[in-house]
Structure 1
Amino acid sequence: MGKKIKKEAEPPPKDVFDPLTIESKKVATVVLMLNSPEEEILAKACEAIYRFALKGEENKATLLELGAVEPLTKLLTHEDKIVRRNATMILGILASNNDVKKLLRELDVMSSVIAQLAPEEEVLIHEFATLCLANMSAEYTSKVQIYEHGGLEPLIRLLASPDPDVKKNSIECIYNLAQDFQCRAMLQELNAIPSILDLLKSEYPIIQLLALKTLGVITNDKEARAMLRDNQGVDHLIKVLETKELNDLHTEALSVMANCLEDMDTLVLIQQTGILKKLLSFAENSTIPDIQKNAAKAITKAAYDPEIRKLFHEQEVEKCLVALLGSENDGTKIAACQAISVMCENSGSKEFFNNQGIPQLIQLLKSDSEEVREAAALALANLTTCNTANVIAAAEADGIDPLINILSSNRDGAIANAATVLANMAMQEPLRVKMQNHDVMHALLGPLCSANTVVQSKAALMVATTACDVEARTELRNSGGLEPLVELLCSKNDEVRRHASWAVMVCANDELMAVELFRLGALDILEEINLSVSRKNKFSEAAYNKLLNNYLSLKYSLTGYLSSSNIINDGFYDYGRDPEMYLGRERDLMIIRLGEDPRR
């Protein structure tokens, strides 16, 4: 064999670039690397940008200014899994920035992000894709995009993910989407409730809280409440409420339960299984104000239904509400008052509160909180309407003085409610006299001058019920109450005009007041009202006639005759028709001898 000759190494091809490790401390340079065709460079650039974005909001804004967002959105569909994962991670972080969210909507990347939720993708991609969607779903336009690109179904599937971050991001996104009624309907179609209920077993409070918040929204719909019931949702909620360690979730659990109480079938189930009794006891004995407040709100919400009110009365809900009136928390007191206001639509409840409830409500009229006073007055207004026994109970509990004090409140609702109670009291003559001794007519001046139509209406109603004797009418006139009362006759509000007409009719019961009302222009206004088919009412017609019948010289001057019931006790004269006040009417200067009855 011949001697082997050593083979020389071949030189490297001239067109191949030697491997280069790039290091850069400038973020702008790394952003430029996002346009590289090489997977390794893209992956490393994304890693660097991810670490940079994590450091704070200023860095996110910087990346936006440098144009990093658009190339990142293109990398969501990259063939290389690592590049795709890193790009998803960055966009998940960046999407918390409002300007980034706006740009992502404009770039229409929702379908690309939702595609990352596919079952075959790794958990890390699921985590940051759901984070991106959770951040973006806080705004309406993004909600629409997620819904239209079919994002709900994969989000519901990911509620069963083994990763808690994926669960948390998914339920947060679903909660945001559930604010829209179309999305709520779709959640029902996709049978999302069982998956959401399973989250209540999570060891992470934030996941449990988001699940409860989501249930609180979707169970506003009747169909969702039925689905919750069919999936033993009430049992899940009760378990949360019975677990002391979960007391920070009790408020939200009660909000969901409040919605369930609106569903008659669910309520019957709760009542039959003894859960309602347990729920009321829980609310009454809780030391957490928000729980007590929400329990009262739940009762209020459900009690608008007459059948549910009846069932509540059978379960003695009233005892719980009276107990809550004694809470130290103003919010709880207000909620209890509001619940009583609704419950007393039931006659049995109204009777119950006669001995238990009314004295406590009278005490709340003296509260330092105007909101509490308003709520207590509302409850009393409903309790005393068409119920003499409750009217008397309110007076016996020394309610007159605090009610009159509320007439000078800064809150229109409080004034209107207090005026309603006082008007109900004024129907009883002994109480009416007692009210007059508390200077009630003078206190009415402020409400009569109010700009609020509800207050105006209730104030006029009070005048109609309290100005039944000469002393009260004189006090009203001396207090300057007649001028604003007459002005209310011109109101465009039907109820204000009707009550003002009623009050004028009552005030015109004697000649002195009739003359004063005429001087203030009441007769002309009433005549104008009665000419209008839409504005006249039975009280406006009665007030017009009452005013003339108690000012006979004026009546004779206008009509030329008196009826057999018009008895003249004093001197009488016909001063003729005033050409300035009665334009177009024929002047009549016939003078009747003083004291002579013109019918003779």
Structure 2
Amino acid sequence: MGKKTETPIKEAFEPLPVESKNPATAVLLLSSPEEDILVKACEAVHSFAEKGDENKASLLGLGALKPLCQLITHNNKLVRRNAFMALGTVATNGDAPNALKKLNAIPSIIENMCLEEDIVVHEFATMCLASLSVDFACKNQIFESKGLPPLIQLLSSPDPDVKKNSLEIIFNLVQDFQSRQEVHKLGGIPPLLELLKSDFPVIQLLALNTLQIITIDKETQNIFREMQGFEKLMDILYNVDFTDLHAVTLQVVANCLSDSESVQLIQKGGGLSRLMEFILTPSMPQIQSSAVKCIARVAQNSENHELLHEQDVEKVLVELLSVADVSVKTYACQAVAAMSFQLASKDRFRDLGGIPAVVQMLSSESLVLKEAATQALSNLTHNNQLNALAVYEAGGHAFLVQQLHGSCQRTVANSAATLCCMAEQEIIRCSILSHGAIQALVELLKSTDTQVLVNAVMCLAVLVSDKGARAELQRTGGLHPLVNLLHSNHKEVLHNACLVVNICACDELAAVEMYKLGALDILQEISQSESRRNSFSKLAMISLLDSNLPVKYSLTGRLASTDIITSGFYDAGKAHPGQKILSLEELSTQAVNQQRPIIVINTATEKTTEEDKQKDEGQSETPTEKPWRMMHDVSLQILVKTARESILPLNDEQEQYATLARLVSEAMGGPVEMDKMHEFPWMLHLSRLKYQLQSNAVSIGLIKTGSYCQRALLFKCLADCIGMSCTLVRGEYNRAWNEVLLFNRNPSKNPLSSKPCGYIVDLMHQPGSLLEVNTPAAIQYQTI
């Protein structure tokens, strides 16, 4: 122990030196009212924090941040500076940002970044914000607290650390769109370009990375060009000492090459030639891929195609398709896709053997490369059948069908588009179908991606021109999702779906199934909508009706001469708007009701019926199942045979129609005087037949007392069976009639007339009479 001395007592204390080896004491002293103690305490905290992350974590645990955040706004300049040094150092710890967020320190930090403040404050304030700016919420608060203006000003600071920290913060901020736009508005482009001349590579790289982000914006690109940005980038690209900066420099160049003005500017400075050097000269893959990306970006503007074509860029790109680096091949494919909008380039790529090289990339494990390759093939084959054939010869169709099962929606859409172009050639179409394309496309009809739907349905439209493809589409359950697409509000999806429905409707079984699925109802709704109806929907509805004549007759009340009635046709009566027309099987299995009977046409022979019966029995799953089938109609077969034998030998067409009319009349009760129609018991006769058969369906051959409707239907049926031409029209109040076309029966009346004239065939009152349309006699026959 030392000697004890007494200290003279004075009225006030002398300044005391503060020394402590305990961080807790230093943190405690941060709350002192004495400025000298605060200065010393901040120094101690800073020195302690500089020694490592464990010390910074210890200070966080001791609650150092709160008093430090208070001290950075202190009136004493030295206290403020030392507090910033301590705060900035502690803030580099990973847990500090969360604590600083809770303390709402960002506004106070930004307030002290004005140019008048000490450079040391700038350094540690920006160091603190750099740590905070990696957090999304902090980035937003820095922006909302007007942090960008002082940060941009500090890019011109004489201190390199301030520049670096400010750049780092700005780089983190411009990842968000709102900050990206503000940088050029606040005059950030000139200081960023100036920093490209920095002696410090880390500053150059940060400036380039920031420019690479902000030049995505079109307006920023314009300012960049006005500030001679290209010239400064070219200085870097021509400097062999800056090889490590070339890759990111090229990425900035790529952003700014989307418009022709920029391309011309860089071309004037020899930029395109320099890009070709980077591509062709063996170098780092990253530099080469960035150079190819520039070319791809130039090619995206059609105004630049001729310039690139003159430089024989197609040859360069084909060579790049065989390099090992995936990113180089990816950008090369993107450039091929862009250049392929020009016909000359499409042919050039094929002549150089580029198509097989692109096809090989479809087997790559890289999803990005496969997407680029499918886009290239889609553009190469669009309106170019020679290229489509080249893809087929390279085995591309098999790979493309596989890609339809992929997870990347762009790749799937591109593959469908390419297959659509290829399938226009029959030999390729057959091969595509053999690889299971229909099944894959059926799955795509359920996609939620619009472009996938557009391309998949269009591809389907080409493939189903093949009858086997239509059968497979129905067999694999494709008609249901296809009909669902008729609800789409997307114009192209709807048009393409209508096109496929139109093509598939030529198959009767498919047409019937689509009708059951509600296709006709949807198409009728579309026809009533001004915004959705189109020529494709109209064609689809017509085709659907033409392949389902019972429905067509019920809905429209008219069958044209080209609508040929065959076995299985039935007249279910006039349908009301919105009424669902049931199938013949459904109608026949209903309980007998009071409504008019369904008149059925069955011209099948007994042999055919027996074969169908055996087939049905063979397909029955259990012995108790009894498949429904139409009643055999011997009487109708006799009428068809009689008509064929008695009418076809006649040479006069008028006499043929008259004879057929008399045959129909005799089969259905003979002539009836017009004023005695009310006494004609046709309704009673039909009712008796229904109850005798215990069925609502009555074969037409069983009807011996028929009125206008039944006779007109029989006339149409017999005429179609023996190859004569006539229409079938339903009128009001149980009226129906047939119209035939005949050339003028009195040439002397108008010898110059060569046009046929329409006649209504009288089947009721004076059977065989032909009544010229629109005459009083014809009108009287058609109406009550």
Long gaps (5+) in structure 2: 1-6, 583-594, 602-635, 638-716, 721-725, 727-737, 739-784
Q: CA deviation at 1:215?
A: 2.0
8 Å Cα contact 2:505-2:544 kept in structure 1: yes
**Alignment match, 2:139:** 140
**Mapped partners of 1:581, 1:191: distance in 2:** 69
**Mapped partners of 1:78, 1:571: distance in 2:** 101
Change (3 A) 1:227 1:502: closer
Secondary structure of 1:15's counterpart equals coil
Structure 1 stretch 264-273 or stretch 53-62: which is displaced more?
Answer: 53-62
**Alignment match, 2:246:** 250
Change (3 A) 1:296 1:309: same
**Mapped partners of 1:448, 1:156: distance in 2:** 54
Q: Which amino acid aligns with 1:277?
A: S
Secondary structure of 2:598's counterpart equals coil
**Mapped partners of 1:487, 1:184: distance in 2:** 43
Q: CA deviation at 1:74?
A: 4.7
- Deviations 1:32-86, CA, capped at 9 Å, x for gaps: 3223344442232112101222344554455455443344345446565543432
8 Å Cα contact 2:112-2:121 kept in structure 1: no
**Mapped partners of 1:30, 1:42: distance in 2:** 9
Match for 1:597 among 714, 719, 723? 719
Long gaps (5+) in structure 1: 1-10
Q: Which amino acid aligns with 2:131?
A: N
Q: Which amino acid aligns with 1:542?
A: L
Match for 2:405 among 402, 408, 417? 408
8 Å Cα contact 1:337-1:379 kept in structure 2: yes
2:432 maps to 1:435:
yes
Q: Which amino acid aligns with 1:342?
A: A
Structure 1 stretch 487-496 or stretch 185-194: which is displaced more?
Answer: 185-194
2:581 maps to 1:459:
no
2:86 maps to 1:90:
yes
Change (3 A) 1:436 1:137: closer
- Deviations 1:310-359, CA, capped at 9 Å, x for gaps: 43334333333333322323333333323332332334333333334322
Match for 2:124 among 121, 128, 140? 128
**Mapped partners of 1:571, 1:149: distance in 2:** 82
Which protein is bigger by CA-based radius of gyration? 2
**Alignment match, 1:391:** 388
Change (3 A) 1:413 1:73: closer
- Deviations 1:150-191, CA, capped at 9 Å, x for gaps: 514540320xx1x43233223223434555677666655665
8 Å Cα contact 1:292-1:324 kept in structure 2: no
2:505 maps to 1:505:
no
**Mapped partners of 1:532, 1:183: distance in 2:** 45
Structure 1 stretch 226-235 or stretch 536-545: which is displaced more?
Answer: 226-235
- Deviations 1:177-216, CA, capped at 9 Å, x for gaps: 5556776666556655444334333343211111111222
Please list, as runs of the form range in 1=range in 2, the aligned pairs for 1:478-489 lying within 5 A after superposition. 478-489=475-486
**Mapped partners of 1:481, 1:223: distance in 2:** 48
Q: CA deviation at 1:378?
A: 1.7
**Alignment match, 1:5:** none
**Mapped partners of 1:553, 1:295: distance in 2:** 66
Change (3 A) 1:201 1:441: same
Secondary structure of 1:597's counterpart equals helix
Change (3 A) 1:499 1:23: same
8 Å Cα contact 1:575-1:591 kept in structure 2: yes
2:285 maps to 1:285:
no
Q: Which amino acid aligns with 1:421?
A: T
Structure 1 stretch 500-509 or stretch 450-459: which is displaced more?
Answer: 450-459
**Mapped partners of 2:311, 2:327: distance in 1:** 24
2:117 maps to 1:155:
no
Match for 1:331 among 327, 347, 350? 327
**Mapped partners of 2:378, 2:562: distance in 1:** 39
Q: Normalized against structure 1, the TM-score is what?
A: 0.85
**Alignment match, 2:362:** 365
Q: CA deviation at 1:533?
A: 3.5
* Two-structure CA RMSD over aligned residues (Å): 3.5
Secondary structure of 2:12's counterpart equals coil
**Alignment match, 2:316:** 320
Match for 1:534 among 521, 524, 531? 531
**Alignment match, 2:116:** 118
**Alignment match, 1:259:** 255
2:362 maps to 1:240:
no
Q: CA deviation at 1:492?
A: 4.6
Please list, as runs of the form range in 1=range in 2, the aligned pairs for 1:464-483 lying within 5 A after superposition. 464-483=461-480
Q: Which amino acid aligns with 2:426?
A: E
**Mapped partners of 1:42, 1:484: distance in 2:** 76
Change (3 A) 1:469 1:78: closer
Q: CA deviation at 1:485?
A: 2.6
Q: Normalized against structure 2, the TM-score is what?
A: 0.66
8 Å Cα contact 2:212-2:255 kept in structure 1: yes
Change (3 A) 1:463 1:215: closer
